[in-house]
Structure 1
Amino acid sequence: MEHNPLRDLIRLLGSVFVFAVSIQLLLLLVYYFLFKHAGINPIDFISLYKYSPFAGKIFLGISSIATFILPAWYMQVNNAGATSYFQTQKTNFWQYITVLFILVSFMPAMSLIAHLNREMELPALFSGIEAWMRKEEMRMEEITKIVVLDSTISGLLMNLVIMAVIPAVGEELIFRGCLQRIFGKWIASPHVCIWLVAIIFSAIHMQFYGFLPRMLIGALFGYLYFWSKNIYVPIFAHFLNNASVTVMAFIYSGDGKSYEEMTAFEYDTSDIYVASLILTSIFVLIYYKVSKRITNGKELD
């Protein structure tokens, strides 16, 4: 028995609101009593992260679980016999290897796209909106800087959990698992559905100067799931993507380098970007072919 997609969407949004708001309010209340002696207002996230990076990381991790993992779990356990949100069809070792090659080969092109997005300027008519967007971007960048720049092994392990494991599991369950399936009942074209979810995925992060690369990576995750019909594949890809940044920040921090040095952009020759796009396209095509053979019951030799 299939559910009504509108009802499913309302249930999903309602569960996200209830879990996220209730658990975050509880956590803020706990933090208020823990840090009131220091005059720290937990609602002022930057001051909280600066005063206690550990407490900030705990807040970030629990918030991600409440916003993504718990609502996805709720949707699945209350599915009432309908088709599972999270497909787990058989996969092949080479699919995961190809995913790694896709992400590595796309890095130069993605870096260029991210730089061009950061350089974006809106027309003067929207100067107020642009000022707000840049303010939000700087606020999120300040928090990210505090969280990821940790040169200790314990800090690296904690960052991998809260920056890579939890987001990879939670965001893929919600966006590729729940939303992609719900929208798929409304929208005949899977491509429109995948790109719509990718746009929402990028917009929900509220980091507009990273919108394009995040949208593209979201679309990639969508196609990985659509072709493999296995939610573990985009989770794996999402983890690799986030973990690579986390490990890079650990290395830079250990070398005494700043966040600005880590995110600095230098143009490569056009050949590098062309090669990046060509190789990415080849590996995506290989992934598509491998996935189709497996989903059609024709295991590769």
Structure 2
Amino acid sequence: MHPAMKGFLPRTLHPGLQILVLLALISAGFCVGYAVIFAWAKLGFGLSAPEAIAVLANPTAYPQAWGLLMMAQGVVLFCAGTGGGLLLASALGYGWAEYFSPRRLGAGWWLLAAAVLIVVILPFMSTLIAWNAGVHFPAALHDFEVWARASEDKAAVLTKFLTRFSSAGRFWVGVLVIAVVPAVAEELVFRGVIQKNLVRWFSPHLGVWLGAAIFSAIHFQFFGFVPRFVLGLVLGYLYLWSGNILVSMAAHFTQNAFQLLILYLAQRGQFGWGFDPDSNDALPWTLVLPSLLLSAGLLYFLYQRMTAPAAPTAMLTLSREGVVERGIDT
């Protein structure tokens, strides 16, 4: 056993208070991130803070907007999410691996299997995307529905602007900012801290479901809530079963990177059969049904392998911490 690190917060801090501390650290991270962006805008583009804000608010009107906006997306999320999560673990006196990965990675193929699962489940997810995109709110919420759709249409325009890859260089920048950074930052926050503490606070299953709901809601995309919620469940259970944040990170990265790759290939005309990656239409049932069955089988297979005892000198327990590895004295 390694001696406990000294943090300025007690390890016994209530799970709800840990989440509140995380939110404070995320807020501080946002401030640091935007300070970096404004400094970069001044040094790299000669833009004052008000001018940089104008570029970020209306990127299609400025030639330097793509680079500045991409950097803003990556730096702010990294500072807020990754910084907030890691600082919380340190403040509690934990090593980062100890806090976010209480169990050693059972096998390298776990990461590959998590990535394969995410690709296999995509056709099934397309049905959820199509259904959720066409949902209508009750008449009493008509004004809210109009506002929500207008907000998501505006966000879609921004997304298309950022993912317009005119070169291979831009594509790899997109992979870094849209796939790598979110996979690390969002998993540390939503699975590594929020889900972990909700599991401690309530129960393993309720913690995963509440964590998935928060993960989906925080994106403020009401017409994509259900598919993102299901994705959050998959990521949440992968983390709960494996006890290692690298597993859910691998799945999250694959989700984003695979979609970026398909989009990039489509923009280069590699899909001659007319596939439209921007469409919300469901894929054919000939793909959806096998996707559902294979995904269920993979999930069950991973559950069995990840929760099985790894060695006779260790014991795995499923507790309010998730799956953890506890040594057995010999």
What is the TM-score with the length of structure 1 in the denominator? 0.88
Call closer, same or farther: CA 1:123–1:288 in 2, change over 3 Å: same
Call closer, same or farther: CA 1:186–1:49 in 2, change over 3 Å: farther
Tell me how far apart the structure 1 counterparts of residues 251 and 312 of structure 2 sit (CA, whole Å). Answer: 23
Q: Which moved more, 1:94-103 or 1:4-13?
A: 94-103
1:60 aligned partner: 73
Q: In the TM superposition, what is the alpha-carbon distance from 1:65 to its structure 2 partner?
A: 0.9
Call closer, same or farther: CA 1:128–1:278 in 2, change over 3 Å: same
Q: How does 1:208-227 map to 2 (within 5 A)?
A: 208-227=222-241
2:57 is the alignment partner of 1:42: no
Q: In the TM superposition, what is the alpha-carbon distance from 1:44 to its structure 2 partner?
A: 6.2
Instruction: Please say if residues 241 and 303 of structure 2, whose CA atoms lie closer than 8 Å, have aligned partners that are also in contact.
Output: yes
Instruction: Please say if residues 249 and 262 of structure 1, whose CA atoms lie closer than 8 Å, have aligned partners that are also in contact.
Output: yes
Aligned AA for 2:72? F
2:24 aligned partner: 14
Instruction: Please say if residues 64 and 167 of structure 1, whose CA atoms lie closer than 8 Å, have aligned partners that are also in contact.
Output: yes
Instruction: Please say if residues 102 and 280 of structure 1, whose CA atoms lie closer than 8 Å, have aligned partners that are also in contact.
Output: yes
Q: How does 1:1-301 map to 2 (within 5 A)?
A: 1-24=11-34, 27-28=37-38, 31=41, 34=45, 42=53, 45-48=56-59, 50-51=61-62, 52-81=65-94, 84-87=98-101, 88-187=103-202, 189-255=203-269, 261-295=276-310
Structure 1: where are the runs of 5+ without partners? none
Tell me how far apart the structure 1 counterparts of residues 89 and 281 of structure 2 sit (CA, whole Å). Answer: 45
Instruction: Please say if residues 163 and 242 of structure 1, whose CA atoms lie closer than 8 Å, have aligned partners that are also in contact.
Output: yes
Instruction: Please say if residues 199 and 206 of structure 2, whose CA atoms lie closer than 8 Å, have aligned partners that are also in contact.
Output: no
Tell me how far apart the structure 2 counterparts of residues 185 and 55 of structure 1 sit (CA, whole Å). Answer: 40
Instruction: Please say if residues 228 and 295 of structure 1, whose CA atoms lie closer than 8 Å, have aligned partners that are also in contact.
Output: no
Tell me how far apart the structure 2 counterparts of residues 122 and 35 of structure 1 sit (CA, whole Å). Answer: 46
Greater RCO (Cα-Cα under 8 Å, separation 6 or more): 1
Tell me how far apart the structure 2 counterparts of residues 256 and 101 of structure 1 sit (CA, whole Å). Answer: 22
Name the structure with the higher helix share.
Answer: 1
Q: Please give the per-residue CA displacement for 1:26-49, whole angstroms capped at 9, x wherever unaligned.
A: 634764895769x95625635135
Aligned AA for 1:62? V
Structure 2: where are the runs of 5+ without partners? 1-10, 315-330
Q: Which moved more, 1:223-232 or 1:59-68?
A: 59-68
Instruction: Please say if residues 216 and 228 of structure 2, whose CA atoms lie closer than 8 Å, have aligned partners that are also in contact.
Output: yes
Q: In the TM superposition, what is the alpha-carbon distance from 1:105 to its structure 2 partner?
A: 2.1
Q: In the TM superposition, what is the alpha-carbon distance from 1:255 to its structure 2 partner?
A: 2.2
Tell me how far apart the structure 2 counterparts of residues 272 and 50 of structure 1 sit (CA, whole Å). Answer: 41
Call closer, same or farther: CA 1:63–1:182 in 2, change over 3 Å: same
How many residues are matched? 295
Instruction: Please say if residues 126 and 282 of structure 2, whose CA atoms lie closer than 8 Å, have aligned partners that are also in contact.
Output: no
Call closer, same or farther: CA 1:125–1:29 in 2, change over 3 Å: farther
